[in-house]
Amino acid sequence: MTYAKPLPNVDDDSRPQWEGFKQRKFLLFRCKTCGKWYWPKSFCREHENEPFFGNLAWTEASGRGKVFAFNVHHMAFHPGFKDEIPYVYALVELDEGPLFGTNIVGIDPKDVRVGMPVEVTYEDITPEWTLPKFRPAR
Amino acid sequence: MAAPRFAIVGLGMVTGPYPEGITARAAEAEAARLAIADAGLRREDIDGAVQLRRTAGGGERTPWADAFTRMLGLPAKFFYTVGRGGALAGLGIMTAMGSLDLGIAKYVMLAGAVEDWTSSQRTKKQGFRGMVHSEKAGYWGKPFGDLRAPSHHSFLAARHMHEYGTTSRQLGAIAVQERAWACQNPLAKMYGRPITVEDHQSSPFVVEPYHLLDICLVSDGAVAFILTTAERARGLAKKPVYVRGLGMGEVADELWWEKKNYTHMAVRTAKEQAFAQAGITLGDVDVAQLYDCFTAEVLFQLEDYGWAKKGEGGPFVEAGNIGPGGSIPVNTSGGLLSAYHYGDLTGLSEAVLQLRGDAGERQVPGAEIALVTGHGGELISPGMCSIHTSLVLGV
């Protein structure tokens, strides 16, 4: 069956992270000098940076966090989402610090709460693409 | 306060929906023609041009940029394109002032147009709900169903509700008061269609917590205006509307890192710079055109500028402070929510009309100082609607 929803729009700055999802690795951009975590890709704010992000690297993170804010989509803007509504799109505050945009799955939208602990769960949507969604922490 | 050095001297507007065969380009050219006539200038006088184009969020960089001055028939020495999402007018003015200051141009045409209504009618036939706008490389949320502005802007309302207990009914009060203004603006799409908070509450959820009536319109239309020096402005057809202050803010300056960009907008530096140049305080603002792509953005700005304390915007709007007869008239055209959505050109055009005393039934008596804000960003990362522009106009 053809996958009817939109595929990720990847650019060269985000590509390594998408490769990671495929391998079940939750990568964030991390400073090797001070250990601070970033997403999306950024220079480290804590000190001078080496040329071309030399002091930062995509690094495996916990894939755990808490719901920071969420909404419930009641209309399908794209025909591929017609069978999904109502679905939850959320900002998850990762344990490492950054906010991450994703779906909250495995729970009735009515039961989602700000502050709820969640963890990553991977969904292989095509042979090429894996989506990092989040579910209530087990 | 320094004497103002630049002024808006001509305004042209085209409101949609466009007749069959009329494109955004054609509407932009028509608005420019109207602005030249409004100023009492001739086409040959226009020697610089700035194309105002929504580049992100709801829009994209135009594929037909090279046609701008050709379509407008302007003998300008230069043109370039400016825009960050809905932040168009403030950025355009910031750059145009440089060319006037250096003597590169004497009269700069700034023009922008949208054909969102036309394109939404087209994509609707393809099974989409409204227009499609998430095709940028690096746009994060698309596979998760983050496909339209409400998909991420609703985080702002949700977070403000969580932190401060703001209610949907309070956001509804913003929609109701802007609609009341629209009912005094014959050009507004929602003219003659007043609403109540109950109407807001019973309108369907689009992206909860946003109801349909929390969300801006999808429009066709164009606005053009001419900027020149204060000296040249004095001899022209219309009362000059002076640029008294202009300031800029970015959430990446602080709010993004503090995770406060879901309850605040990047108003702090923008307001400080604009108000200091103008030599004004908040109480001097007679009419405010606050960027209102959604209701919560209005609430945030009422707090961030200081009309209400942070977290107390809900009761402030519930008390009727922003509608006709309120303590601070906000979005007197009806705004993006109820009149027409041309980015911050909606607010700019309304501010010019108010300051000239040409706003008809909705005229704020004796309006001398107007605030116009712009708001926009790339949305590569969810919810980082980044820039805030603060423009103080006066007569």
When pLDDT is averaged across residues B319-333 and rounded to a whole number, the result is 98
Q: In the prediction, which pLDDT does B59 show?
A: 47
Binary contact (A99, B383; C-beta < 8 A): yes
Go through B54-65 and write b for each residue having 16 or more CB atoms within 10 A of its CB, e for each that does not.
bbbbbbeebeee
pLDDT over 50 (residue A44): yes
Mean pLDDT over all residues of chain B?
92
**Nearest 5°: CA angle at A89, between A85 and A94?**
155
**Smallest CA–CA distance from B253 into chain A, residue:** A45
Q: In the prediction, which pLDDT does B133 show?
A: 57
Nearest to A75 among B152, B206, B380 (CB): B206
Distance CA B181, CA B171 (A): 16
**Smallest CA–CA distance from B381 into chain A, residue:** A40
Residues 78-107 of chain A with CB under 8 A from chain B are 78-79, 81, 84, 86-87, 89, 91, 93, 99, 101-103
Instruction: Flag whether residue B129 sits within 8 Å of chain A, measured between CB atoms.
Output: yes
Centroid of chain to Cα B62: 19
pLDDT over 60 (residue B180): yes
**Nearest 5°: CA angle at B339, between B351 and B378?**
80
Distance CA A65, CA A99 (A): 9
DSSP A96: T
Q: In the prediction, which pLDDT does B354 show?
A: 98
When pLDDT is averaged across residues B75-81 and rounded to a whole number, the result is 90
Sign of CA dihedral B169, B170, B176, B179: negative
Residues 247-266 of chain B with CB under 8 A from chain A are 257, 259, 262
Distance CA B362, CA B219 (A): 21
Binary contact (A5, B154; C-beta < 8 A): no
Q: In the prediction, which pLDDT does B253 show?
A: 82
- Residues of chain A contacting residue B123, judged by C-beta atoms under 8 Å apart: none
When pLDDT is averaged across residues B224-240 and rounded to a whole number, the result is 96
How many Cα atoms are found within 13 Å in the side-chain-facing hemisphere of B213? 26
DSSP string spanning A65-87? EEEEEEEEE-S-SSGGGTTT-SE
Q: Which residues contact B288 (CB under 8 A, 6 or more apart)?
A: B305, B328, B329, B330, B331, B370, B371, B373
Binary contact (A71, B155; C-beta < 8 A): yes
**Sheet of A27-31, strand order:** A37-38, A27-31, A56-60
pLDDT tens, residue by residue, B92-126: 999 999 999 999 999 999 999 988 888 888 877 77
Distance CA B308, CA B221 (A): 33
The backbone region for B379, taken as left when phi is positive above 0, alpha when psi lies in -120 to 50, beta otherwise, is: left
Burial of residue B172, with CB atoms counted within 10 A of its CB: 0-12 exposed, 13-18 middle, 19 or more buried: buried
**Interface with chain A: mutation pick from B147, B210, B255, highest number of A CBs within 10 Å:** B147
Instruction: Flag whether residue A45 sits within 8 Å of chain B, measured between CB atoms.
Output: yes
When pLDDT is averaged across residues B275-289 and rounded to a whole number, the result is 98
pLDDT tens, residue by residue, B258-278: 899 999 999 999 999 999 999
Binary contact (A76, B129; C-beta < 8 A): yes
Binary contact (B204, A75; C-beta < 8 A): yes
pLDDT over 70 (residue B131): no
pLDDT over 80 (residue B62): no
Could you tell me the pLDDT band of residue B56, with boundaries at 50, 70 and 90? low
pLDDT over 60 (residue B296): yes
Binary contact (B205, A72; C-beta < 8 A): yes
B191 to chain A, closest Cα gap in Å: 26
Nearest to A74 among B130, B204, B257 (CB): B204
Go through B107-143 and write b for each residue having 16 or more CB atoms within 10 A of its CB, e for each that does not.
bbbbbbbbbbbbbbeeeeeeebbbbbbbebebbbbbb
DSSP B374: E
Q: In the prediction, which pLDDT does B57 show?
A: 47
Cis peptide leading into B4, omega within 30 of 0? no
Binary contact (B138, A102; C-beta < 8 A): no
- Would you say A74 and A110 are in contact if contact means Cβ atoms under 8 Å apart? no
Question: What do you get for the CA distance between the two ends of chain B, in Å?
Answer: 14
Binary contact (A91, B140; C-beta < 8 A): no
Across the strands, what pairs with B222?
B14, B113
